[in-house]
A = this chain, B = another copy of it.
Amino acid sequence: MSTTALSDTQVLAWARLVRAAQSMLGAIEGDLKTAGFPPLVWYDALLELKRAGTCGLRPFELQHAMLLEQYGVSRLADRLIKVGYVERFECKEDGRGQVLRITAAGRALLKKMWPAYRAAIVAHFAGKLTCADAETLATILAKLK
C-alpha cells in the first residue's frame, strides 16, 4: 500500500532521534535556567555573532545559520540588543539591511555560560556515549543535511 518504503527500524530511529533531542534539550535548558542563564537560543546566536567577528552578521545570515524564521531573528535581536549583548548598525552596502555585532558583554556571557553548558552536555549527552559512539553519531548525522 505504501508508495515509499519505510522499515520499522527507520521509524524507530526517527522516533528515538526526536525523543532524545527533545529530552536532552529540555534537560539542558533546564540546567541552564536553574543556573540563572538565558535560553540556549541566546547562546547560539551570540556564538554565531562571535564567530563572525568584528564585521558582524546580517540578520538574514543569522537566520540561515540558526534555522529561524525571519521575524524570529528580528525579535531575538531586539531582545539581545535591549540587554546589551548585541549592537545593531545600519548596513552601508544595503540600505534595506543592518548589521548585528556582539558586544563585550555578549562575549562575557558566552564565557560565563560555557562551563554550565559543557557540564550539561556531558551530563545529558556525552556522558552516556562512548567516544566511538559520538564519532559514529557525528558521521551519520552529517548525512542529514
Task: Name A's B-contacting residues (CB within 8 A).
Answer: 2-7, 9-14, 16-26, 67, 115, 118-119, 121-122, 124-126, 128-129, 131, 133-138, 140-145
The copy count of this chain in the complex is 2
Interface of A is mostly: helix
Residues of chain B within 8 A (CB-CB) of A17 are 17, 20-21, 24, 125, 137, 141
Is A13 touching B138 in the complex (CB atoms < 8 A)? yes
Is B129 touching A143 in the complex (CB atoms < 8 A)? yes
Residues of chain B within 8 A (CB-CB) of A144 are 16, 20, 23-24, 124-125, 128-129
Is B20 touching A145 in the complex (CB atoms < 8 A)? yes
A24 to B11, CA, bound (A): 14
